[in-house]
Amino acid sequence: MIQSENYQPNVSGFIVKADGNAEFNDGIFRGTLDVNRGIFRGELDVGSLSILNSTPIGIILNYPIGTTAQTIYDAVRQSGIFDVTGTYGGANASRIELIYKYNITNNYPYVDVTYTTEIYITTNTRQLIARTIRVGRTNVTNNAYSESTTNPITTSAALNVQLSTPSKILKLINLPTTQPTEPNVVWRNGNNLMIS
């Protein structure tokens, strides 16, 4: 076993044990580091890939009475069931569910597309708090388009919740901004990720 005079586990110095285990503070490897597995408790930076040791702030939804389902859905921009912390009408909320669906009906010469957005909140029970139903009608003979909203349900109480986001932040940085000639390379086209 080799160790420095100031070695204190997880504090200072270094140690190299006979069984092959070792502890150092920092290290520079000029060649290849070949490992079977690893645990990274801080930040990991490998060129264009950066995994940050921080949890992103969840989406915060603060809306007054009378808010439409479409307004709430547009803030999250994805369907699903999300754990939340906060309140709806003063009652503690545990989940919010966002549903977006559409249905196409062909009634020649009209084609109707019905878009339904629904928001459910779970306090003591699951309850529908907002619904927006939009119908877009196209006349296929002259391409005339009209849209209407039917029987909207808006929030009857204030919504103040934050969506949980337990994942870590994953960043791809310094990506090429022109399409590489080599296949299967990730590159950035404006705000979009592309694969060559």
Q: What is the pLDDT of residue 65?
A: 98
**Model confidence over 27-44: pLDDT tens digits?**
887 887 777 777 666 666
Tens digits of residue pLDDT in 72-113: 999 988 888 999 999 999 999 999 999 999 999 999 999 999
DSSP labels, the chain: -EE-TT-BTTTBS-EE-TTS-EE-S----SS----S----SS-EEETTEEEES-PPPPPEEEE-TT--HHHHHHHH-S-EEEEEEEEETTEE--EEEEEEEEEEEEETTEEEEEEEEEEEEESSSEEEEEEEEEEEEEETTTTEEEEEE-S-B--SS-EEEEE---SPEEEE-S--SS--SSTT-EEEETTEEEE-
Average pLDDT, the chain: 86
The pLDDT of residue 68 is 96
